[in-house]
Amino acid sequence: MDETVEDKRPGFMVDDYLITFPPFGDIIVENEDGTHSVLIDVYKVDGETKTRAEQADITPELEEKINAYINKMLEDALELYKEKKNG
């Protein structure tokens, strides 16, 4: 289910957390070791209240779910790009 925070940034829900992307700049960064990371903001959702999640809230299981969702988004975007390019 897609959601937005007050500033209308697009995002998605994973369990009780809203995942959004930074409003400015690049969302993909290259790390010193040559790997790449996607920058995200994580908010804990409790009813109508959204508060920025603490690092301790982001369990390995939650991180795995977030990574899987983002990887699927990127794969879908790549497939769509390929279809449009070849279509």
What tens digit of pLDDT does each residue of 27-64 get? 889 999 999 999 999 999 998 899 999 999 999 999 99
Q: In degrees rounded to 5, what are phi and psi of residue 68? A: -65, -40
| Largest interatomic CA distance in the chain | 46
Q: How confident is the model at residue 6 (pLDDT cuts 50, 70, 90)?
A: low
Predicted local confidence at residue 7, as pLDDT = 55
Angle in degrees, CA 47, 54, 65, rounded to 5? 75
As for how many domains the chain has, the answer is: 1
State how far the Cα of 87 lies from the Cα of 85, in Å rounded to an integer: 6
Structure-token match 């983002």, residue found: 70
| Nearest 10 degrees: Cα torsion 80, 83, 86, 87 | -120
- Domain span at residue 50 reads 2-86
3-state secondary structure of 22: coil
